Structure 1
Amino acid sequence: MFKLTNKSAIITGGGSGIGKAMAVLFAKQGAEVHIIELNSDAAAETVNEITAFGGKAFGHACDVSKQAQVVETMNKIGKIDILVNNAGIAHIGRADNTSEADFDRIYNVNIKGVYNCLFAAIPLMKANNGGVILNTASIAASVGIVDRFAYSTSKGAIHAMTLSVARDYLHEGIRCNSISPARVHTPFVDGFIAKNYAGKEAEIFEKLSKSQPIGRMGQPEEVAALALYLCSDEAGFITGTDYPIDGGFITLNN
């Protein structure tokens, strides 16, 4: 079950963290994986890890906020069976202390970046008689998170785009779903804590871990397993749905 043999999968932000775990797992399940990354060195590391066990993977240096780059990259890839819109960035701030520049930065990557990938990939999927789109949203799309105004805005937009795309392409063989992770332990999280809470890293890590009722952060491989299912043929009856993977964060924090 959950084989992706002969499938061509694009994963944005596949050079590290959740995206890397998805890329590795999808390749193990038989997909030809295309990693779209701003950081070409990170993409190359993931590609090397995949090819080392005999998988097929290719890295593409591309800024998802630039539509022309995205269209050119995806047209070069050609056949697209699976698109995972995973690339994203975070920000700490409230509505009254988030600068215009920071809001625009979040918008350009987290919202416009997803739009650009949809804009480029959907025509190729239609030509291929269908495909699967999976967007990485967040628990921040469903519940209020302190000091995450711009980030929450962007993830709410991803959730709304998921519903719109799922509805618009029902009869063209394109499924679209989203996943909403809570805190997942990745190098991004470690760097985020170090940058914003210098000197309090251990304290903040424990606090963030315990904010999940299950008592820990998730692992990238756990999120990748859910992504694999939703992108597989076994999930063919699922579209227009968001899947929290959050250790009970949304429903059990009461």
Structure 2
Amino acid sequence: MKSMSHLAHSTRRAQVSRQEWEVRVKLAAAYRLAALLRWTDHIYTHFSARVPGPDEHFLINAYGLLFDEISASNLVKVDVDGTIIDDPLGLGINQAGYVIHSAIHRARPDLTAVLHTHTRDGAAVSAQREGLLPISQHALAYYSRVAYHDYEGVALDLDEQQRLVANLGTSNILILRNHGLLTGGVSVEHAFRELHGLERACAIQVAAQAGGNAQLLHASPAAIAKVHEQAQHFCAGDGEGVARHWAALIRQLDREGLDYQQ
């Protein structure tokens, strides 16, 4: 007899378009990869992806599931006005997740995926007045592109959305001060590539700052400008680097199991 989870998977897959199912699988993979990389904050934080098609719908995690419990079929579909379109488990969504993600999906249709974390290193850098420092090759890929949004409390108020979007501007990299990190991308795999590098840059910064009285060496303005130019190629959403990066991550994830695809 087929399991209930398999039946639920079959039902959900039959109810959505092929394009939506592909996005669901990629977004579920991003959640599982975040769990594998230990980026999670228990049931908090959230990743989202726009549903292909004319409707302003996006997918996000059910509130209460751990990241390693997310699958393609249990994602919640919601519109940018907060109306839940499909909630397979009846758990609803995190209000802060709705406030942050709906604001960006409404204002930036070019960013089809938005990922947000509260990692130790990301939150630590977000609490530093100077923010991300130009002290590593990883950091230089973001240093000239990163935007900042001041902390206003838990993001539950809709009026914060206009300031969040204004601070993001035309960037796709946002450090939420005293809070965490956020990246957007033209695809799930692009947003994840951006977040992966940004998380690494923050980890390197925190490690360097733990070196006692050693003075940190900032890259030269010429090096900063050069890496900014180089990053236009290797951080591009449609670039070969993003595809290779994602393929390697999926190979790593698939060794842990394939149930995220259900």
TM-score computed with the length of structure 2 as normaliser: 0.27
Q: Give TM-score, length-normalised by structure 1.
A: 0.27
